[in-house]
A and B are shown apart, each in its own frame.
Chain A
Amino acid sequence: MQDGPMDPDIPSLEAPRAEEYAGYARPAPDGAVPAPATAADTPRVPSVLLAIPADRDYVVLVRSAAAHIAAKLDLGMTDVTDLRLAVDEACGLFLLHPAFSGAEDGGDLECRFEVGPAALRITVSAFVPPAFAPDQEDIGWIMLGALVDELGWDSGGGVGMVTLTKRLTARER
Chain B
Amino acid sequence: MDRFAASVGQTDGGRIVVTVSGELDLGTADRLWADLEPLISPRSVVVLDGTALNFMDSSGLRVLLRAGNRAVREGAAFRLVAPHPAVQRVLELAGTAGHLETRGTVEEALAG
Residues of A within 8 A of B (CB): 55-57, 59-60, 63, 77-78, 81-82, 84-85, 88-89, 91-92, 95-96, 138-140, 143, 146-147
Complex-state Cα separation, A143 to B90, whole angstroms: 8
Chain B, interface size category, equals 10 to 19
B58 & A60 in contact (Cβ 8 Å cutoff): no
Pick the contact of A85: B3, B57, B62 (CB < 8 A).
Answer: B57
B94 near A: Cβ within 8 Å? yes
A85 & B26 in contact (Cβ 8 Å cutoff): no
Complex-state Cα separation, A35 to B3, whole angstroms: 39
| 9 smallest beta-carbon distances between A and B, as pairs | A56-B27, A57-B27, A140-B58, A56-B26, A88-B57, A139-B58, A143-B93, A81-B86, A92-B26
A95 & B86 in contact (Cβ 8 Å cutoff): no
Complex-state Cα separation, A81 to B94, whole angstroms: 15
A88 & B93 in contact (Cβ 8 Å cutoff): no
A60 & B93 in contact (Cβ 8 Å cutoff): no
12 contacts between A and B (CB under 8 A): A56-B25, A56-B27, A59-B25, A78-B85, A81-B85, A81-B89, A85-B89, A96-B26, A139-B58, A139-B62, A143-B93, A147-B93
